A = this chain, B = another copy of it.
Amino acid sequence: MISAPLIERKLCGPGPCNPYAEAQVALTRPLLGHLDPEFLRIMDETCEMLRTVWGTENPRTLPLSATGSGGMEAAFVNTVHKGDVVVVAVNGLFGQRMCEVASRLHARVVPVDSPWGEPIDIHAVRRAHPNPDIIAAVHAETSTGVRNDIAALGEIKGNALLLTDHVTAIGGSEVSVDDWGVDIAYAGTQKCLGVAPGLAPFTISERAFKRRVGRPSSWYFDLGLLGGYVGGSAGRQRTYHHTAPTGMVVSLHAALTRILAESLDTAIARHEAAGAALQQGLVDMGLELFAAEGARLPQLTTVRVPEGVDSAAVRRHLLEHYSLEIGAGVGEYASSVWRIGLMGPNASPATVALVLGALGEALGR
């Protein structure tokens, strides 16, 4: 089915995307030990560059040794005390997952649902509970291609901690943790940061850290222990916690260096331009976008599968004929929506042209 030798995939699904060349080349560097002074320097620089990308001065900013979903788990397991009221704004799979993760930690979960494809309802979140301990939401809903307004949640959070998912946002959309009042945030490396999957950039405010669970059920994700190794202040003794994935961290360091050399603003503008061009092209082709106007992510476009078209057959054709991956929809939209990602190096006019050309051919348009 798949021709061998395999032609390089163009990864335009919901992630992973193709990594930046700098990130992939970095994986060929000789491996370093996790306590090597050279590695510790790279780790410190990585945390510092992550602060820039997060828009934060949080000292506790680090890459966790897990994928983005591990970041979600770390966020909740360190902050949810038994019986805490956790209001979750839900308008897609990852909001639902937040409810599941929090509920396993014995939170009193208050989901606030909005229709898939629509942004979350800030007023409904405010009305959901008079005094929540945590308010949680997804910035860029990977399941629907919708952007939610995290800054607005920061304005209404009151005494609650604001816990947010930026897996698909980071590196492709503005994220301003400090300005927006975000207390705990996590992301993934395999989307707009342009690195292979395997690390979860993470940041937590001092306010949230003080309110954290002292001895969380998870030892692996215990930020109190992790802080001895990374993410704390300079000059202190390093303490061993677990063996960091040194090669992956070096790769993330290379990608962040590259993004900041381009400038974060320019990288974000590149994602916006690519997404706008793709969305216009799809509309011009007569297709209907799924995410509500005004709330569309540039880095992840959702589009309805035209009536009578076999969604999976089209995706298979793109993969086999163009070595181009696009994503299916999620849940009830599995076969009625496609998800097209333009992330990292794929946020480019060339990739837009490829996707439009290939999809147009497949649909006979």
- Nearest chain B residue, comparing its CB with the CB of A244: B197
Q: Of B9, B73, B190, B244, which contacts A30 at CB under 8 A?
A: B9
Are A67 and B245 within 8 A (Cβ)? yes
Are A220 and B66 within 8 A (Cβ)? yes
- Complex Cα distance A245/B188, Å? 11
Q: Mark A87-109, 1 if CB is under 8 A from B, else 0.
A: 00000000001001100110000
- Closest chain B CB from A267 CB (angstroms): 19
- Closest chain B CB from A298 CB (angstroms): 20
Asked if A36 CB lies within 8 Å of chain B CBs, one says yes
Asked if A6 CB lies within 8 Å of chain B CBs, one says yes
Q: Mark A151-189, 1 if CB is under 8 A from B, else 0.
A: 000000000000000000000000000000000000010
Are A104 and B197 within 8 A (Cβ)? no
Asked if A16 CB lies within 8 Å of chain B CBs, one says yes
Q: Of B11, B188, B215, which contacts A31 at CB under 8 A?
A: B11
> Among the interface residues A67, A73, A104, A220, which one has the most CB atoms of the partner chain B within 10 A?
A220
Contact A243/B69 with A16-B34, A219-B100 known, Cβ cut-off 8 Å: yes
A–B complex contacts, Cβ < 8 Å, 28 sampled:
A8-B30, A9-B32, A11-B32, A13-B35, A16-B243, A18-B30, A19-B31, A24-B28, A24-B31, A31-B196, A36-B325, A65-B66, A69-B219, A69-B220, A69-B241, A69-B243, A70-B70, A70-B242, A72-B220, A73-B220, A77-B218, A104-B215, A104-B219, A197-B243, A197-B244, A197-B245, A197-B247, A245-B248
- Complex Cα distance A104/B78, Å? 13
Residues of A within 8 A of B (CB): 1-2, 6, 8-9, 11, 13, 15-16, 18-19, 24, 27-28, 30-38, 65-70, 72-73, 77, 97, 100-101, 104-105, 188, 190, 196-198, 215-220, 241-248, 319, 325
Q: Interface SS of chain A: helix, strand, loop or mixed?
A: loop
New contact pairs (13) apart from A16-B31, A97-B219, A198-B247, CB-CB < 8 Å:
A9-B33, A11-B32, A11-B33, A27-B28, A33-B325, A65-B66, A66-B70, A68-B243, A190-B243, A196-B245, A197-B243, A197-B244, A248-B248
- Nearest chain B residue, comparing its CB with the CB of A188: B243
- Complex Cα distance A219/B100, Å? 8
A35 CB contacts on chain B under 8 angstroms: 13
- Nearest chain B residue, comparing its CB with the CB of A241: B69
Going nearest first, the 9 A-B pairs with the smallest beta carbon separation are A198-B245, A69-B242, A8-B30, A196-B247, A27-B27, A73-B220, A217-B217, A197-B243, A197-B245
- Nearest chain B residue, comparing its CB with the CB of A191: B243
Are A68 and B242 within 8 A (Cβ)? yes
- Complex Cα distance A220/B242, Å? 18
Are B30 and A6 within 8 A (Cβ)? yes
- Nearest chain B residue, comparing its CB with the CB of A106: B217
Are A33 and B13 within 8 A (Cβ)? yes
Are A198 and B28 within 8 A (Cβ)? no
Are B73 and A37 within 8 A (Cβ)? no
- Complex Cα distance A31/B18, Å? 6
- Complex Cα distance A100/B225, Å? 12
- Closest chain B CB from A252 CB (angstroms): 12
> Among the interface residues A68, A188, A244, A245, which one has the most CB atoms of the partner chain B within 10 A?
A245
